Amino acid sequence: MSESLDSGPPPQAPTTALRQRLAELRGPAAQPHPLDARALAALAANPGCRRRALLDGAGVDKAALASALGSPAAFGQSQFAFMRGNAFEAKVKADGGKELTRLLGVDTPAEVRVPELSAAGPEGRAARTALALREATAEKAWTLLDHPMLALEVAGSPAYLEPDAVVVHPDGTWTVVEIKSFPMIDASADAAKVGAAARQAAVYVLALERVAAVTDGAQVAHSVLLVCPKDFSNLPTASVVDVRKQLSVTRRQLARLTRIEDIAEALPAGTTFDVERPAEELTAAVESVSAAYAPECLAACELAFHCRDRARDAGAVEALGRGVRGELGGLTTIGDVLSAARGTAGDPDDPAVAALRRAAALRAEALEAAGCR
């Protein structure tokens, strides 16, 4: 990674050699799959997974890869939910963002500027967004940036992110706006969904900080405006969500990621994740990159079912959860755990081994008292 994730100019494109290597990993006919904020938030939650870091950095379509491996992803947004979300976002932004500016408490919505952000390619759009942010800050005027493009360097490779909106306040504050279609009932929404939205918004805040660092008078708010339908209607309502904790965690976790080129260089020659290759060859390619599976991956990664099967086949304790893995110390397989509990293996001075043997003894006593033995 670069020395800082929250300062400096927009990230530079990978070198020609790296771009060629990533293209080889994707396959000759595969277009790079964009790395969005949701994927970055999931990646930040599991920075030790070199497999996901490489596949995301190379732009590999993990859903297609999982299907080719015979373990298709069983999650994702339904078409109905997608259409409902788009319809609600359109309502919020209709008439120049009239509803959104109302939620922001702007006295004169007609004075809110909505600059044009179209440009050629993601790099051009990111540059146009940065220019619009600087102009709005200098003019000290309410400005609504609809679907701006932000750039962030992740493991040595640039990622381009597209928040729903960014609002520039007259005092130079930049606020990320997240528009979600889940309801806010009695001013409260589902905690899990709000948490996911906050983690996603923290990635946008992190990317905005890069631009703000080179913009005079700019300051990025560490709280975001979450806009949702009110109760059971389609009327937009909003809540301010503090993302300082998520921002700190995301910044730290992304900084821990190994650079993409370092992971790629360690791969065997000829490794490719081209979904047109035979399943056996794809499996070998995927297994050549280490993973850090945890049950939480099932809700965040398309390859989770494949990684779970491999973890179970190996008897890895990670399949039981990160909390269990942390408690077991040097015992890395379920076989090791059972042997330690039975007293046939393991250092008796190891606290984890001692706890397992004590638990096994208590279980045996309970079964004997119940007449089960």
Beta bridge partners of 158: 153
Write down the pLDDT at residue 1.
36
Write down the pLDDT at residue 85.
85
Write down the pLDDT at residue 6.
43
Residue 366 CB burial class (10 angstroms; 0-12, 13-18, ≥19): exposed
Among all chains, which residue has been given the structure tokens 């920075």? 47
Q: Distance between CA 195 and CA 206 in Å, rounded?
A: 17
Q: Distance between CA 52 and CA 198 in Å, rounded?
A: 21
CA atoms lying within 13 Å on the CB side of residue 237: 16
Tens of pLDDT along the chain (373 residues) come to: 333 444 445 565 556 677 788 888 988 888 888 788 888 888 888 888 999 989 988 889 999 999 999 988 766 566 777 788 888 999 898 887 888 888 888 877 778 899 999 999 899 999 999 999 999 999 998 999 999 999 988 877 788 999 999 999 999 999 999 999 999 998 888 998 999 899 999 999 999 999 999 999 999 999 999 999 998 888 999 999 999 999 999 998 888 888 888 898 889 888 999 999 999 999 999 999 999 898 888 888 999 999 999 999 988 888 888 788 788 888 888 888 888 888 888 888 888 888 888 888 898 888 888 877 6
Q: How far is CA 40 from CA 36, 53, 163, 192, in A?
A: 6, 9, 13, 18
Q: How far is CA 36 from CA 31, 33, 154, in A?
A: 15, 9, 11
Max alpha carbon distance in the chain (Å)? Answer: 81
In 3D space, the residue among 300, 295, 271 whose CA is nearest the CA of residue 63 turns out to be 300
Write down the pLDDT at residue 16.
66
Q: Distance between CA 126 and CA 153 in Å, rounded?
A: 13
Q: DSSP state, 316?
A: B
Beta bridge partners of 179: 227
132, 148 contact by CB (below 8 A): yes
Instruction: State the DSSP H helix or E strand holding residue 238, giving kind and residue range, or none if neither.
Output: strand 236-242
231, 185 contact by CB (below 8 A): yes
Q: How far apart are the first and last CA of the chain?
A: 58
